[in-house]
Amino acid sequence: MRSLIKNHKLPAIMIVLLLVSVFVFASFSRLRLNAANASLGANDEPNREAGPEVVLACPGRVEGASEVINVGAGADGVIAEIRVVEGQAVHAGDVLAVISRRDLNAELSAARAHAEAARQARARILRGSRDEERRKAEAEVSAIQAMQRQAQLRYDRYEKLFRQGVISEDQLDEAKKNLDVAEADLRATVKHKELVDAPPLPEELERATAEVRAADERVRGVTEQLEKVFVKAPISGTVLKTFMRPGETFSTFTPQPILSLADVSSLRVRAEVDERDVARIQVGQRVTVRSDGLQSVRLTGTVKSVASQMGRKKVRTGDPAEKADRDVLEVLIDLDVKDKALPVGLRVTTQFLK
């Protein structure tokens, strides 16, 4: 009888345990379902705010409205002064630095003096003889004419006396000789006066004009060389970095920049898209920009232009697995940010949105 009771208790206990297990499993499943539903409900809003899908990402660098311009000088010499500091805004044509070339100042003075002498010589040729020279030549002609008339009268008188037999033939010959000399002197004096009054010869005027042109050209050449000692800003922008200091020597044979500047009135990103992804980008496409240096700040922008020619990579991410043998396409992105002081050359990651 006891064994029968025991045999009946064992299935009952098993049934109770089975029911308890089913109840616990059902309760646990209900809790997991509620948690999943709560989690789904909490994630609905972020998913709705996630925005457009990112279709590709690529490296790039921040730059201004213009590329960075390295500025040098057009003349060799020692840097006398640097007139700007890093971060200073400059306008196109402003003097940024000065090269010392004192020898050019002396050469310019000599060239100007030579040009002035050439112009004075040409003016004298155009003007001809001075008024004093003309008056002197006229007075000489008048004096020789008087002597010639006197010699002529003496000869005429001696000829009459010779025919009358009053004087000898030698005296007549002497009078004739004096008359010939007076007439020769008169012809020479008249010729001299004609030369004094004559206009300049064409060849003389042409030679004088050529000398003036050559002298002026020399002055222009030295002036241009002297202008090159002033290093001027090619564009309006901001001085990014100065590479040289006063006292250092600048050489055009081994040129190196004196300073660099760029227009940072607006910012843009030059991104490099891999050749496999060029079909995914287009002008007007929206872009987000991230960088380790920006921390949690996310910038936005728009694709302004896409290059027409492939090229080699210039922006390196530093990843050892990065492929350097692929061609890339440069894309310019205008940033929406206006008041953030981003450093030019900052490496960023650009994300192109769908």
Distance CA 324, CA 313 (A): 7
Distance CA 318, CA 327 (A): 17
Strand segments, DSSP code E, in 92-242 are 95-100, 230-232, 237-242
Q: What digits encode the pLDDT tens for the residues 20-72? A: 565 655 555 554 445 444 443 434 444 444 567 888 998 898 888 888 899 99
Q: What digits encode the pLDDT tens for the residues 92-102? A: 999 999 998 88
Strand-by-strand arrangement of the 77-82 sheet: 230-232, 95-100, 77-82, 249-250
Average pLDDT, the chain: 81
* Ranges of each domain in the chain: 54-65+265-353, 69-100+228-262, 107-224
Q: What digits encode the pLDDT tens for the residues 288-344? A: 998 877 776 788 899 999 998 988 887 766 665 566 677 899 999 998 876 556 788
Residue 139 CB coordination number (10 Å): 12
User: Cβ(70)–Cβ(257) under 8 Å?
Assistant: yes
CATH architecture, domain defined by 69-100+228-262: Beta Barrel (2.40)
Distance CA 194, CA 134 (A): 9
Q: What is the CATH number of domain 54-65+265-353?
A: 2.40.30.170
